[in-house]
Structures are given as C-alpha cells and as structure tokens.
Structure 1
Amino acid sequence: MDAQTLVDERGELWLALAPLWLDREPGERDYAHMVEVIQRHDLTLHELEWIFRLELAPVLARTQMSVASEWRKFDDLQLMKRLVAHNMRLTGWRRKSWALFSGLTTMMTRHRWNELIMRVMLERGEAPR
C-alpha cells in the first residue's frame, strides 16, 4: 500500500484516535468525535483493536514516553508522517514483533481505549461483554 492510500484510508481515523495518548483524559467531545469517526469507517471491533495495537500504539507510545513529548496536542502533519512511515514498514517480522509487544505499548492507554470501545458498542446498539 502506498503512502497516499494509507492517508486516505486511515488518516482521519488515526488523527481522531491520537488524543488517547495525550497527557490528559479525553473529554466528552473527544470521545464523541472518536465515535463519530469510527462509525464513518465502518470497522469491526476486532479491526479497531488491531489498528490500536499495531498501527497507532507503536508510534504514539514512543511519543508518550519521551521526555520531550507532545503533551497537550499533536502536530498533525508530523504525527501523520510518523504514522505513515511506521505503517509502510509494518510487514512480516515487524508486524509480528509489534503484535507480540502490543500489550506493553497499549498499557498506558488501555483504560481510555476500553472506555472508547464501550461508547462505540453503545452507539452501535451492541451489548457490552
């Protein structure tokens, strides 16, 4: 997949979900926007989980843990460049490695992700498990 296709297919979703890694709890508006974008992309919960674990977490967890991290808002252009570069390389052993370590890269935002998925399920009329 080329970079432009990645941006076209995932860019809006990636930028909408990025606030899960900021140094503040997402507010009601943040969650509402995330749910709205997720609904437009018509992805299953399973697909969303893997986007969270493989496409976003490896890039955003590094930002979250860096000393010079972006804490209040991301520079969307720089973030998109990093996400595209990561996802262009996300094949073969890299994909398997990130899948293996995804528990570590998602643990700091898992509670926010769970809250978001609960809201998505409610929006879709699905019963929480």
Structure 2
Amino acid sequence: MDAQTLVDERGELWLALAPLWLEREPRESDYARMIEVIERHDLSTQELEWVFRLELAPVLTRQQMSVASEWRNFDDHKLMRLLVAHNLRLKGWRRKSWALFSGLTTLMTRHRWNELMERLMIARGEVPKE
C-alpha cells in the first residue's frame, strides 16, 4: 500500500480519532464527529480496536508524551505524515511488536476509547457490554 492510498482510506478516520490523545477530555461534539466518521468507514468494533492499537496509538502516544507544547494544537499535516510513515512500516515484526505492547501505548486513552465504543454501540443499536 502506498502513502496516498493510506491517506485516502484512513486519513479522515485517523484525524477524527486523534482528539482521544489530547490533554483535555473530548467534548460531546468530538465524540459525535468521531462516530459520524467511523460510520462512514463501516468498520466493526474489532477492526476499530486494531486501528486504535496498531495504527494510531504508537504515533499518538509519542506525541502525547512529548513535552512540546505544539501537541495542544497539533498540526493535521504533520500528524498525517507521522501516521502514514508509521503505517507504511507496520509489517512483520513491527506489527507483532506493536500488538504485543499495545496495552501500554493505549493505557492513557483506554477510558476515552471505551467511552467512544459504548457511544458507537448505542448509535448502532447494539447493547454495550456491562
């Protein structure tokens, strides 16, 4: 897969989900936008979990942990370049390594992700797990 295909297929979804890693809690409008974009991409909750764990968390956790104040207002173009570069390399041992350590890279945003998945299931008319 080339960079342009990644941007075309995942770019909108990646940028919509990026607020999960911001310093502030996502707003109602953030969650609503995330759900709207997710629904356009027609992914199962299991597929979304892997997007969260393998495609986004390794890059966004590094941004979140940086001391650079620019993270408060991240640059979509810079973020997209980082995400594309990471995902182009996400094969073989790298993919397995990130899968293995994804619990650590998602730790700080897991509560937000769970909230989003609960809202998504309600929007889809599914019963959230208790």
Comparing 114-123 with 64-73, greater Cα deviation is found at 64-73
Count of residue pairs the alignment pairs up: 129
Corresponding position of 1:77: 77
Change (3 A) 1:79 1:14: same
Q: Identity of counterpart residues, as a percentage? A: 79
Q: How big is the shift at 1:73?
A: 2.3
Residue 104 of structure 1: aligned partner: 104
Q: What does 1:5-84 align with in structure 2 at a 5 Å threshold?
A: 5-84=5-84
Give the alignment's Cα RMSD to 1 decimal.
Answer: 0.8
Q: CA deviation at 1:71?
A: 3.6
Structure 2 distance, partners of 1:26, 1:10, is 20
Segments of 5+ residues of structure 2 without an aligned counterpart are: none
Superposition TM-score, scaled by structure 2 size: 0.97
Taking the aligned partners of 2:18 and 2:80, their CA distance within structure 1 comes to 10
TM-score normalised per structure 1: 0.98
Distance in 2 between residues matched to 1:73 and 1:116, nearest whole Å: 21
User: How much has 1:37 moved relative to structure 2?
Assistant: 0.2
Letter of the structure 1 residue corresponding to residue 22 of structure 2: L
- Give the C-alpha shift of residue 69 in structure 1: 4.8
Mean alpha-carbon deviation: is it higher for 65-74 or for 4-13?
Answer: 65-74
1:105, distance to aligned residue in structure 2 (A): 0.2
Residues 61 and 106 of structure 1 are in contact (CA less than 8 Å); yes or no, is this contact kept in structure 2? yes
